[in-house]
Every structure is written in C-alpha cells, then in structure tokens.
C-alpha cells in the first residue's frame, strides 16, 4: 500500500465509514460520503480527458466542495492547484496559465473573474461551478461551466487505482519572487511527513507504513477520540491546508469549515461550541487578537462561550507574539499553542506554549533536520551569535514549477544533504534554540498573506501624478503588518491617498493595496537608485 493521501484516506473511509468527515454549515458528509463524492469527481475529471499529472485549479473559499474536489484530483493522480480567491483577473490568469491548468472548480461568487479569463486559456477542458451565492448576489454565466452537484450526480465513483509515491503534489505560494510559484513535492514524502507531525499530537504512535494508519484511526475513533479541526485560515494557503486539514484528516479527523468569507471571530467560537471542536488553525496575531476580543465580549445574551473542548491551536508563517498567546491561555486554560516556523518550502522549528510554560516571541526549538548556515555554507556554531540562513531538511521540495533558476537558489545540496532555504535568517543559542530575525527579502506578511513590495510599487506609480514610491510594512494590531506606501508626486500634482488605494485595488488583490499612503518630497533611495527600504520604513513608522 502506497503512502499517498488518496490511498490513506480511502483506507480510513473503509474503517470509519459512518464517522463525520467534512462539514460546512448544516451539511455534513460522512467518511463514506466524502470518499464517494471524491471518487465521482475523479471520474468526472478522467471523463473530460484528464489523467495523471493533469492540473486542476481550485478557485474557492473553504468548504466541503473544495475538499471533495481536491480528494478527487488525488484519486486520479492529478495535481490540485490552489488559487488565491482574492486574485483579480491578471493574477488569476497568470496562475492558471503558469500552472497548465486543464480544469477549474470555482465558486459562483468568483465567476465574473473566471468569465473574463477563460478565453485566454486554450488548454481548459472542464469548468465546474459551485453555487455559494448569498442574497443579493447575481449569477454570472461562464460558458460551458457545469454545476457541481450535477457533475456529482452524472458520474459513478471512479474505481480505486494503484498510485505512485512519486506522484507530484504542488502548492502555489506568493513567496519572495513577486509572482506565485508552484512548490513541487513528491506525494509520498508529503504524506509521510504530515502524518509524522500529526499522529503524536493526536495521541497515536508514529506509523511505520501506510497499512498501519487506518487501524490506528479506527481504534482512536472507536474509543471516542475522533479529532475535530477548524481551519480558520484559508485552505488555499499552506497553513490552513496542512495544519487545519491534511494533518488532522490523515488521523481520521472531522474537518469543520467556517461559512464566512473572511474571519468572523464570533463564528469561530460558535462553531467550537456547536461541534465540540478540538483544534483551531489560525494565522498568528491577526487571527488571535480578534478571538481574544470575541471571548471577552461573549455571546449576545451576555454568557460566555464554552471552550472546554479545545485542545490545540496551530499557526505558521507569521508573527504570533508571546503577549497574545498569554491572552489566549488566560481565557482557555487547557489549550496548547503550537507555533510552527515554516513556509511552503519547508519546516524549520516549533514553539509550544501552554499554561505554566513561557516562551519568547520569535524563539523556536530547531527541528531535528533543520540547520543554520552562513554565507560560506558553514553550519553556524550554537552560541556564537553569528547570523545565518535557516535551512529545512527532510521532506525537501523537488523545486519550483517551471523555474529552474529559482529552484537552484532555494533548494541546494550541502555536504551531501539536500536543504530548502526559504529565506529566513536566525541565530542559534547554545541550547540549539533558533532566534528568528526575519526574511532577507522585503516581503510583507499582512493578515496571513504575503505581499511583494515591488508589485505594489509599480501599481502605485501608474497612478497619474505619482512620481516615485516604495512600499513597506509597518506594525499593525489587526494585520500584523499594514502595507504602507511612501510616495512622492510630480511637481505641481495633487493626488489623494484614496485615489491611489482605489487604483491599486483595481489592479491587484485587495490585500496588496496600501492601507495608507505617506507623501514625501523625495522617496529615499541610494545614490545608485536602489531602494532604501530601511529609511522608508522609518518614515512610515514615525508618521
């Protein structure tokens, strides 16, 4: 039996068929139904001419259909392409074209964007639309698109097949490259790595083979220990996908999706109480702070939310400060907070906090396969104070899709071992603890999203009257970092900040647009014309 997401999930569905698998709103699918509907989607893909290595784009918010369709892609040995639902036309077209997508499964609320780009994607063979429209939202027809439930009903479940552990799994990331990049993994290594991370957290032994996993899940479920997980983060991002969905589901969990299209803290707490949720996956302070406020506000009737079922909260990729962690522990005393230092390109360290356990912000226990190397590819000596770049070992990606140059820089072999270098810099304490210093690039992490400054700068500079611009992130309670533009104008020009922000939002996803614009006489640059981001950030922060 191969170590493959689809194969493992099939074996789990066979042993706990009646246990809940996925829920959105009032709709719950059992493991048997989840498997059946995933197999019907797989049959629909193959009937449309897709096969092993075919790319299927998922342009959706969190929901049962996202997970069923992704499962169907795995079943037929295809490659699911995660698409950021905030992307506008040009960003959407770029990703669909770059990924060689042959099918799109999309929410009806996003159909207008799909309709405007499909004619530029000649390789598309199948379009499937999921109805998620709210009152007052209008239906937009996309020529040739089939209704999701009609597709489910029109196809029998695809027969199970033998798969390969070297099948490709890919996750697109905004990264530090300016445009999205597909990070390629082998399915077998990813399945084993995520199971290895999750089973101990669920109280199970590490599985030595794929055959062991379903019996272990059945034993846990029969004993009343099925885990219930809510990915508060979007599952089109690695944090929500891996921590909130894949890892728990490899342990036979029940995944409950939120219904709002953005974080609504009270909905999270209501969902925890309603479903007896055990684990939440969040995105650092930008998610944790609203949860703390909602806990303090309580229910409309003045009573408190019942948080007694919560066991864990997971976060990754952004700052989650000690102060905010303590606020959560003060309100949910039994919770264990797991802060993973990682990215789409690899996992490097972990920080765990619970009642009676203190930790410092940006201080992580180094992963057993992670190392820190200096610029000469020499391992940093613990306690030396030397700054180095963190390297992730273990399940290292195969590379970036269609980008051999970037792959060669990020994924390298040192002393016979292959490592991933996502770009994080750190020092190493004498006890081996990592002190994270930040990214070497200027990427801004805002509300769980990555923003590449140059892309925003170019959009700002296209506004009539704008002469120059640099974009930086400044500390912000809600977003972690707020995208801020420092701009200068053409002599005699008069431009409102709101005009710039509106113009950028017309070109790029809303989260990339500046939250504020600071006007200066001259944008800080070095004599050679290179951007002086440090000076720009000082101006923005002071203002």
In a domain, 389, yes or no: yes
Lowest mean pLDDT among 349-363, 489-503, 506-520: 349-363
CA atoms within 13 A on the CB side of 453: 22
Q: Are residues 258 and 397 in the same domain?
A: no
To the nearest 10 degrees (0 to 180), the angle between helices 5-15 and 187-201 is 50
Question: How confident is the model at residue 292, as a pLDDT?
Answer: 95
pTM recorded for the entire structure = 0.85
For residue 133 the two structure tokens come to 């429209």
For residue 175, what pLDDT band results from cuts at 50, 70 and 90? very low
In a domain, 427, yes or no: yes
Neighbours of 119 (CB within 10 A): 9
End-of-domain residue from the set 262, 285, 320:
262
Report the C-alpha gap between 157 and 149 in whole angstroms. 14
In a domain, 277, yes or no: no
**If DSSP codes are grouped into helix, strand and coil, which group holds residue 347?**
strand
Residue 493 has pLDDT above 80, yes or no: yes
In a domain, 156, yes or no: yes
What mean pLDDT value characterizes the chain? 93
- Distance from first CA to last CA of the chain, Å, rounded? 60
Q: Are residues 390 and 501 in the same domain?
A: no
Q: Are residues 241 and 108 in the same domain?
A: yes
Question: pLDDT tens digit string along 31-42?
Answer: 999 999 999 999
For residue 534, what pLDDT band results from cuts at 50, 70 and 90? confident
Report the C-alpha gap between 38 and 32 in whole angstroms. 10
Domain of residue 19, residue span = 5-262
Q: Are 56 and 80 in contact (CB under 8 A)?
A: yes
Question: How confident is the model at residue 363, as a pLDDT?
Answer: 85
Lowest mean pLDDT among 116-130, 255-269, 310-324: 310-324
End-of-domain residue from the set 230, 262, 294:
262
pLDDT (average), residues 356-368: 85
Q: Are residues 100 and 217 in the same domain?
A: yes
User: Residue 416 is part of a domain; what is its CATH number?
Assistant: 2.30.38.10
C-alpha radius of gyration, the chain, whole number: 23
CA 456 distance to own-chain centroid = 21
Q: Are residues 88 and 59 in the same domain?
A: yes
Residue 259 has pLDDT above 80, yes or no: yes
E-state strands within 300-354:
312-316, 336-343, 346-353
Residue 403 has pLDDT above 80, yes or no: yes
Q: Are residues 33 and 177 in the same domain?
A: yes
Residue 440 has pLDDT above 90, yes or no: no
Question: How confident is the model at residue 528, as a pLDDT?
Answer: 41
Residue with tokens 């049962």: 64
Q: Are residues 86 and 185 in the same domain?
A: yes
User: Residue 518 is part of a domain; what is its CATH number?
Assistant: 3.30.300.30
End-of-domain residue from the set 413, 439, 465:
439
In a domain, 426, yes or no: yes
In a domain, 286, yes or no: no
Lowest mean pLDDT among 15-29, 113-127, 184-198, 427-441: 427-441
Residue 177 has pLDDT above 70, yes or no: no
Question: pLDDT tens digit string along 113-164?
Answer: 999 999 999 999 999 999 999 999 999 999 999 999 999 999 999 999 999 9
Report the C-alpha gap between 29 and 41 in whole angstroms. 15
Q: Are residues 77 and 112 in the same domain?
A: yes
In a domain, 65, yes or no: yes
pLDDT (average), residues 456-461: 87
Sheet holding 168-173, edge to edge: 168-173, 181-186, 399-400
Number of domains in the chain: 3
- Name 373's bridge partners: 379, 389
Q: Are residues 454 and 427 in the same domain?
A: no
Q: Are residues 79 and 159 in the same domain?
A: yes
In a domain, 41, yes or no: yes
Percent share of the chain, pLDDT over 70: 97
Number of separate helices (H) and strands (E) present in the chain? 17, 28
Q: Are residues 35 and 117 in the same domain?
A: yes
Residue 174 has pLDDT above 90, yes or no: no
Q: Are residues 26 and 136 in the same domain?
A: yes
Tell me whether residue 410 is exposed, middle or buried, using C-beta atoms within 10 angstroms of its C-beta: 0 to 12, 13 to 18, 19 or more.
buried
Question: How confident is the model at residue 172, as a pLDDT?
Answer: 95
Q: Are 138 and 60 in contact (CB under 8 A)?
A: no
User: Residue 145 is part of a domain; what is its CATH number?
Assistant: 3.40.50.980
For residue 159 the two structure tokens come to 């027969």
């Amino acid at each position: 039996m191969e170590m493959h997401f689809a194969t493992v999930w099939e074996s789990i569905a066979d042993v706990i068929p009646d246990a809940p698998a996925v829920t959105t709103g009032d709709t719950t699918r059992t493991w048997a139904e989840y498997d059946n509907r995933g197999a019907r989607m797989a049959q629909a893909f193959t009937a449309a001419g897709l096969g092993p290595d075919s790319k299927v784009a998922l342009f959706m918010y969190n929901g049962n259909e996202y997970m069923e369709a992704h499962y169907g892609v795995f079943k037929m040995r295809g490659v699911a392409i995660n698409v950021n639902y905030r992307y506008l036309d040009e960003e959407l077209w770029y990703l669909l074209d770059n990924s060689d997508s042959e099918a799109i499964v999309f929410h009806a609320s996003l159909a207008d964007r799909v309709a405007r780009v499909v004619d530029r994607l000649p390789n598309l063979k199948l379009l499937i639309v999921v109805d998620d429209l709210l009152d007052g939202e209008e239906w937009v027809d996309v020529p040739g698109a089939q209704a999701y439930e009609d597709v489910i009903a029109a196809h029998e479940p695809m027969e199970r097949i033998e798969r390969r552990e070297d099948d490709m799994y890919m996750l697109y990331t905004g990264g530090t490259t300016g445009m999205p990049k597909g990070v390629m993994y082998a399915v077998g290594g990813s399945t084993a790595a995520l199971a290895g991370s999750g089973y101990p957290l669920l109280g199970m032994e590490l599985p030595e083979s794929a055959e062991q996993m379903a019996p272990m899940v059945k034993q846990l479920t029969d004993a009343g220990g099925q885990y219930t997980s809510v990915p508060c983060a979007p599952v089109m991002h690695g944090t929500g996908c891996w921590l909130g969905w894949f890892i728990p589901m490899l342990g036979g969990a029940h995944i409950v999706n939120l219904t709002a299209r953005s974080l609504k803290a009270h909905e999270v707490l209501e969902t925890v109480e309603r479903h007896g949720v055990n684990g939440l996956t969040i995105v650092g302070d930008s998610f944790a702070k609203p949860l703390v406020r909602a806990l303090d506000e309580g229910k409309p009737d003045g009573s408190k939310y019942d948080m007694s079922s919560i066991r864990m909260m997971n976060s990754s990729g952004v700052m989650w400060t000690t102060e905010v962690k303590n606020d959560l522990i003060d309100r949910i005393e039994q919770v264990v907070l797991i802060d993973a230092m990682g990215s789409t390109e690899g996992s490097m360290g972990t920080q765990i906090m619970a009642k009676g356990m203190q930790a410092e912000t940006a201080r992580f226990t180094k992963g057993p396969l992670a190392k820190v190397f200096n610029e000469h590819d020499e391992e940093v000596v613990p306690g030396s104070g030397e700054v180095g770049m963190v390297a992730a070992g273990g399940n290292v990606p195969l590379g970036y899709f269609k980008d051999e140059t970037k792959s060669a820089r990020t994924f390298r072999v040192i002393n016979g071992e292959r490592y991933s270098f996502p770009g994080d810099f750190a020092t190493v304490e004498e006890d081996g603890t990592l002190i994270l210093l930040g990214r070497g690039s200027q990427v801004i992490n805002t509300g769980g999203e990555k923003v590449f400054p140059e892309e925003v700068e170019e959009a700002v500079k296209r506004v009539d009257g704008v002469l120059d611009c640099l974009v930086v992130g400044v500390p912000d309670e809600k977003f972690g970092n707020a995208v801020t533009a420092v701009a200068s104008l053409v002599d005699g020009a008069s431009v409102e900040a709101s005009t710039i922000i509106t113009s950028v939002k017309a070109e790029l996803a809303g989260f990339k647009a500046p939250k504020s614009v600071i006007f200066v006489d001259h944008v800080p640059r070095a004599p050679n014309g290179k951007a002086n981001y440090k000076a720009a950030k000082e101006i923005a922060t002071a203002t």
